[in-house]
Amino acid sequence: MARKGENIYKRKDNRWEARYIKGYRPDGKPRYGYCYAGTYWEAKQKVHRARAMLPKEVIPEEVQRRRLESRCEEWLERNRSRIRESTYVKYRGIMSKHILPRLGGCQLRALNSDLLEQFSRALLNEEALSPKTVKDILTLLHSVLRDAAARSGEPLPTLGAAYPKIPKREMRVLTREEQALFAAYLAEDMDECKFGVLLALLTGMRIGEVCALRWEDVSLSERIVKVGATMQRLRDYDSGQEGRTKVVVSVPKSDSSRRVIPLTDYGMRLCRSQWREDPSAYVLTGEAGRYLEPRVLQYRLRRYTEACGLEGVHFHTLRHSFATRCVEVDFELKSLSEILGHASPRITLERYVHTSLALKRDNMQKLSAIGY
């Protein structure tokens, strides 16, 4: 039997075995070394000598031995007051679903580029996550590691980014014919919800922005819509109940997202037809005390598009379609960028401009003016 507090045992072959920690695996579990001797005291002396010969970094000090799980939790709590609630929920979800199950037990000093590369491949192949999602996960992980290194005062091993290449995915955009068909369907027997969907198609607003829109944000005299809030359903980590969610109305995700959108003549006529005198009433319900959350609006949109025979249409399709129509009529790019709520026109060009084949043909024909 081992003596209390010591890993020294008498074996069945009458030898004594002394066990000691000589390092840590990447998952945080200890790696053991063993010493054997004919007596208890000889085994104890051997293990003392073995420990003394270990390099200092093999048995790191307490602050270096802390696991990634602790560092993630500290980083989250320290930054919670600096980020939006939706961002906090997103980061916490990434950590609990992806980072901590695979790397949470790792000692910081055990992390290296090979381990992160294995982690990246597991996310892509085993969890079947998209390259964009994997990149977001790795970016968050690197932020935590940089913070841990800065606070511990001990440099971490050089870690390669290991970011996967993100293939360009073509976004579904309504053709002019599809948009005309869909707009006509929404205008027929129009209710508050159909009006909100059509308004999004005419302004490029995001689904959360439409859900949070109240009539006080619409000015008929100035012919504008003011976007100053967004609605989301988020995990409620403070409730203490697993899986509990809540609806949150907050400011948009960036300063550029708070914007003013001018209304067209058609948009003005639609707003007048649906106008509510109560300024606090939600546009999608016509009532101040009742809202329509994003996932319900997405369900309604699916029902509308199925009725029109349109496939693969999500709410963001309306935003991309709006941007494409603007480009087709030579909309000034800087103005379009501000209407969409982008930080720069570059984002608008890279993500939201989808030219049709007909428009490409029209532009190619312009070369005829110079003999081509």
Hey, what CATH topology would domain 68-152 get? DNA polymerase; domain 1 (1.10.150)
CA of residue 319 relative to chain centroid, distance: 19
d(CA 201, CA 323) in angstroms, rounded, equals 10
Average pLDDT, the chain: 85
Give the pLDDT score at 119: 87
Does 63 score more than 60 pLDDT? no
Q: What percent of the chain has pLDDT over 70?
A: 84
Give the pLDDT score at 346: 82
Please give the angle made by the CA atoms of 204, 210 and 216, to the nearest 5 degrees.
Answer: 110
What number of other Cβ atoms are within 10 A of residue 69's Cβ?
A: 16
Which residue did the predictor score with more confidence, 156 or 197?
197
Give the pLDDT score at 219: 95
Reported confidence tier of residue 251, pLDDT bands at 50, 70, 90:
confident
Reported confidence tier of residue 358, pLDDT bands at 50, 70, 90:
low
Which residue did the predictor score with more confidence, 19 or 210?
210
Does 157 score more than 80 pLDDT? no
Give the pLDDT score at 95: 93
The dihedral sign for the CA sequence 316, 317, 321, 327: positive
Angle of helix 176-187 relative to helix 315-328, nearest 10 degrees? 120
Does 247 score more than 60 pLDDT? yes
Give the pLDDT score at 5: 46
Q: 336 forms bridges with which residues in the sheet?
A: none
Please report, for the chain, the start and end positions of each structural domain, with discontinuous segments joined by +: 8-59, 68-152, 176-364
Please give the angle made by the CA atoms of 73, 64 and 22, to the nearest 5 degrees.
Answer: 125
Angle of helix 192-203 relative to helix 315-328, nearest 10 degrees? 40
Q: Read off the pLDDT of each residue in 325-352 and give the average, rounded to a whole number.
A: 84
Does 309 score more than 90 pLDDT? yes
Spatial contact of 256 and 343, defined as CB atoms under 8 Å apart: yes
Give the pLDDT score at 4: 43
Single-letter amino acid code for the residue at 269: R
Does 166 score more than 80 pLDDT? no
Does 263 score more than 50 pLDDT? yes
What number of other Cβ atoms are within 10 A of residue 291's Cβ?
A: 20
The dihedral sign for the CA sequence 309, 310, 315, 320: negative
Q: Does domain 176-364 have CATH number 1.10.10.10?
A: no
Span of 4-8, 304-308, 349-353 with lowest mean pLDDT: 4-8
pLDDT tens-digit profile of 75-93? 999 998 888 888 999 999 9
Tell me phi and psi for residue 9, to 5 degrees. -125, 155
Spatial contact of 197 and 190, defined as CB atoms under 8 Å apart: no
Whether the full predicted model's pTM is greater than 0.75, yes or no, is no
Reported confidence tier of residue 211, pLDDT bands at 50, 70, 90:
very high
Token pair belonging to 264: 């067209």
pLDDT tens-digit profile of 100-145? 888 887 877 777 788 888 888 888 888 888 888 998 999 999 899 8
